[in-house]
């Protein structure tokens, strides 16, 4: 059997996966701290020439997806508990399943005075402890290094960590990441109070990608049609001659 249909099929499956990824990026275009995800294609070679095959066949397949780690656009909110990290780094959250990491700095205070994220997970300070604000808190200032001042007095620091290979972080729902590697204290970052980091989705890139994908899908569909046509002709010729 001819390989061409299967090669095209492999491309089509890979394209659909890419469509899903583009759709997810666009759906999260207004999600604070969201990093867009992109797919990397690769070829999968069978019937290698080096092994004496005259017709090498390359199947398309998705090798891996990678996260765009550019800092997203900064949006000033004026809310004292909104913090954005400029540069590399993640906040550490204390969840029931262990430590998780996030770049979404829209924090709140819960009923006990603990600084938490939108899901209620405590945000940890540089020594890995939750930050519990006193009851008479009237003002909170967060400096560039993450140092907190409550009512004008020093009150610890928000911890920021980084990873040797941040691409290895596993994405979980809720803009949080999980890591098997141990975090290191981050360097070269700047914290901004009253600001949130928007999604780093590039709407134009995503939409043009979507258009390109539509054409690619229709091209592959056409190709399958052509191959099918050829095979039909071949079998007709064969039928007439016999």
Q: Where along the sequence are the contacts to another protein (CB under 8 A)?
A: 16-17, 19-24, 26-32, 34, 37, 39, 62, 64-66, 77-80, 104, 106, 108-113, 118-119, 133, 135-138, 151, 165, 167-168, 170-175, 180, 203, 206-207, 210-211, 213-214, 217-218, 221-222, 224-225
Give me the least distance between CB of 126 and another protein, in Å please: 23
Question: And the tokens for 126?
Answer: 């540089």
Give me the least distance between CB of 142 and another protein, in Å please: 15
Q: Which is nearer to another protein, 109 or 126 (CB)?
A: 109
Of 191, 199, 192, 161, nearest in space to 33 by CA: 199
Q: Which is nearer to another protein, 39 or 161 (CB)?
A: 39
Q: Which is nearer to another protein, 76 or 145 (CB)?
A: 76
From CA 2, how far away is CA 4, in angstroms rounded? 6
Judge contact between 104 and 175, C-beta under 8 A: yes
Give me the least distance between CB of 240 and another protein, in Å please: 26
> What are 116's strand-pairing partners?
108, 122
Give me the least distance between CB of 12 and another protein, in Å please: 8
Give me the least distance between CB of 55 and another protein, in Å please: 24
DSSP string, 103-158: S--B-EE-TTSBEE-TTSPBBBBTTS-B-B--TT---EEE-TTSEEEETTEEEEEB
From CA 187, how far away is CA 87, in angstroms rounded? 9
Give me the least distance between CB of 188 and another protein, in Å please: 23
Q: Which is nearer to another protein, 58 or 65 (CB)?
A: 65
Q: Which is nearer to another protein, 138 or 188 (CB)?
A: 138
Judge contact between 59 and 44, C-beta under 8 A: yes
Q: Which is nearer to another protein, 180 or 238 (CB)?
A: 180
What letter does residue 48 receive in the DSSP assignment?
-
């Amino acid at each position: 059997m001819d390989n061409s249909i299967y090669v095209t099929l492999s491309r089509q499956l890979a394209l659909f996966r890419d469509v899903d990824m583009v759709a997810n990026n666009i759906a999260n275009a207004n999600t604070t701290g969201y990093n867009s995800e992109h797919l990397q294609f690769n070829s999968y070679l069978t019937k290698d020439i080096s092994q004496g095959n005259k017709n090498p066949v390359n199947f398309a397949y998705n090798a891996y997806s990678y996260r765009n780690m550019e800092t997203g656009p900064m949006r000033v909110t004026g809310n004292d508990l909104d913090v954005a990290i400029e540069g590399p780094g993640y906040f550490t959250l204390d969840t029931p399943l262990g430590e998780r990491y996030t770049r979404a700095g829209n924090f709140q205070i819960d009923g006990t005075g603990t600084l938490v994220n939108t899901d209620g997970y405590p945000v940890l300070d540089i020594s890995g402890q939750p930050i519990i604000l006193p009851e008479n808190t009237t003002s909170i200032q967060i400096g560039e290094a993450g140092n907190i001042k409550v009512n004008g007095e020093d009150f610890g620091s928000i911890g920021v960590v980084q990873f040797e290979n941040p691409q290895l972080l596993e994405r979980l729902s809720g803009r949080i990441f999980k890591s098997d590697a141990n975090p290191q204290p981050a360097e070269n970052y700047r914290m901004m109070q009253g600001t949130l980091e928007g999604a780093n989705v590039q709407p134009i890139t995503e939409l043009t990608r979507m258009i390109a994908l539509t054409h690619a899908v229709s091209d592959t569909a056409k190709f399958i049609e052509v191959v099918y046509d050829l095979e039909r002709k071949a079998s007709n010729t064969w039928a007439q001659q016999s």
